[in-house]
Structure 1
Amino acid sequence: MTLDELRAQVLAFRDERDWKQFHTLRNLIVSTSIEAGELLETVQWKTDAQIDALLADPAQLTHLKHECADVFIYLLLVAHTAGIDLVDAAAEKLKLNAQRYPVEKAKGTAAKYSEL
């Protein structure tokens, strides 16, 4: 399935339920953040070893997958509402990050670009 096809399915799902009225840009951004918090909860208080074990447990992996999907669906709706092409935006951001984090300065370090 393409991104455009997925977006169309998400919009159809929303429209069938008459939820567009609630999907203001502000509400969608807030909801994206809430869903990102739920994604964060999947690893909260866990060690790296426990997170690795989570990935090996089908039920926990399914929960993680669904939380990722919730964030992604809301992000699709945010971008649609704001008129943003996510693929173009991501490509543009990668180019910017390549300038901010040149390989010769950033390789092997977690430092922010302003610290390089």
Structure 2
Amino acid sequence: MTGLKEGEERVTLDLLTKKMDDFARERDWERFHSPRNLLLALVGEMGELSEIFQWKGEVPKGLPNWKDEEKQHLGEELSDVLLYLVRLSDVCGVDLGKAALRKVELNALKYPVNVDGGSKKQEL
């Protein structure tokens, strides 16, 4: 079971990379998409994402007390961050999917599972 509805395509990093490349090319924005400019835009979007949580304190997983509009806004800001990250990695020639998998493997080596029953609270 894939969880996809009929006619839906699976969202992959490759698909997002192509869509962002097409989007930029169609608008002649490629000349503005230097690594520096994309990074600054990404940081700006991270700021907008941070503002959503700024005065809420700790929130429970799943955001059960949030209104639908708040969750939709959160999804839009998360998407902005993801799309700029995907675009930045593409412009820099980094395969983000492979880099992320490699980082998970490195983290597994750096933070092995503690079989002694000790604390599992470790930062990535």
TM-score (norm 2): 0.79
Larger CA deviation: 63-72 vs 9-18:
9-18
Hey, what does 2:37 align to over in structure 1? 27
Please tell me whether residue 95 in structure 1 is matched to residue 105 in structure 2. Answer: yes
Please tell me whether residue 36 in structure 1 is matched to residue 21 in structure 2. Answer: no
1:53 is aligned with what amino acid?
N
Per-residue CA distance 1:12-67 (angstroms, 9 max, x = gap): 1111111111110011111111111111111012123485422xx11111100000
User: As a proportion of its length, which structure holds more helix?
Assistant: 1
Per-residue CA distance 1:52-96 (angstroms, 9 max, x = gap): 422xx1111110000000000000111001111111000110011
Hey, what does 1:15 align to over in structure 2? 25
Structure 1 unaligned runs (5+)? none
Hey, what does 1:53 align to over in structure 2? 65
Q: Structure 1 residues 49, 71: CA separation in 2 closer, same or farther (over 3 Å shift)?
A: closer
Hey, what does 2:121 align to over in structure 1? 109
1:29 is aligned with what amino acid?
L
Q: State the SS of the aligned residue for 2:114.
A: helix
How far did residue 10 of structure 1 move? 1.2
Distance 1:60 1:27 in 2: 28
Structure 2 unaligned runs (5+)? 1-10
Please tell me whether residue 84 in structure 1 is matched to residue 94 in structure 2. Answer: yes
Distance 1:53 1:92 in 2: 36
How far did residue 108 of structure 1 move? 2.7
Higher relative contact order at CA 8 Å, sep ≥6: structure 1 or structure 2? 2
Q: State the SS of the aligned residue for 1:10.
A: helix
